[in-house]
Amino acid sequence: MAIDDARARTMASIEALSIAITVRSIPRVLQPLMATDLTIQQLKALTVIVTTGEGATGAGLAQTFSISMPSISKLVDRLAAAGLVTRGDDPADHRVRRIHATDLGRAVVRELMAARPELGGDVLARLTDDELRSLEIALRAISRVSRESSTPA
């Protein structure tokens, strides 16, 4: 019972620390978002496109965001004009056009959405070697569990 209580206290402490770190990181996360010319809708669409391995479709995006096909078509046109996405034929159905992120599109999403300023070089440089090794072990474990839980059974 004492082990379960200690584990529960440790998990609660980690959750509280995670929230505190996230709150302190908000200004650093917002910097690239404030500097982008993308609208929130464009950023949301680009993120979906980047995370869709087989490529998104206009119909799928329109349904996801509950907007009309003409609206999503214009949005994708703007993303394509910015070099963030390309359109191509669906190999299984030539009536369908697939929308794929370009390298630039993936880089934009990585920069804007995947930023972890709390793990930036300036923060990591101030940790001791032992702290860095412990953090690496913990992050590897979190990555493993996340990967396992996202893999279909």
One domain for residues 131 and 72: no
Q: What pLDDT was estimated at residue 114? A: 64
One domain for residues 110 and 126: no
Give residues with Cβ within 8 angstroms of 65, minimum separation 6. Answer: 41, 44, 45, 72
One domain for residues 53 and 112: yes
- Name the one residue in this structure whose structure tokens are 């010319």: 37
Q: 135 is in which domain, residue-wise?
A: 120-153
One domain for residues 101 and 66: yes
- Name the one residue in this structure whose structure tokens are 């505190």: 20
- Name the one residue in this structure whose structure tokens are 């990967």: 147
One domain for residues 6 and 48: no
0.85 exceeded by pTM: no
Q: Which residues of the chain have pLDDT under 70?
A: 1, 113-115, 150-153
Q: What pLDDT was estimated at residue 99? A: 97
Q: What pLDDT was estimated at residue 6? A: 87
Q: What pLDDT was estimated at residue 1? A: 62
- Write phi, then psi, for 84 (nearest 5 degrees): -95, -25
Dihedral sign from CA coordinates of 64, 67, 68, 73: negative
Strands (E), the chain: 56-57, 85-90, 93-101
Q: What pLDDT was estimated at residue 151? A: 62
One domain for residues 126 and 69: no
One domain for residues 112 and 44: yes
Q: How far is CA 70 from CA 40, 55, 75, 105, 138, in A?
A: 18, 19, 9, 22, 46
One domain for residues 62 and 112: yes
Q: Residue 108 maps to which CATH number?
A: 1.10.10.10
Structural domains in the chain (count): 3
One domain for residues 53 and 96: yes
Nearest-CA neighbor of 28 among 112, 117, 114, 113? 117
One domain for residues 42 and 80: yes
Q: How far is CA 81 from CA 30, 40, 46, 77, 93, in A?
A: 25, 17, 13, 6, 25
One domain for residues 44 and 113: yes
One domain for residues 130 and 104: no
Q: What pLDDT was estimated at residue 53? A: 80
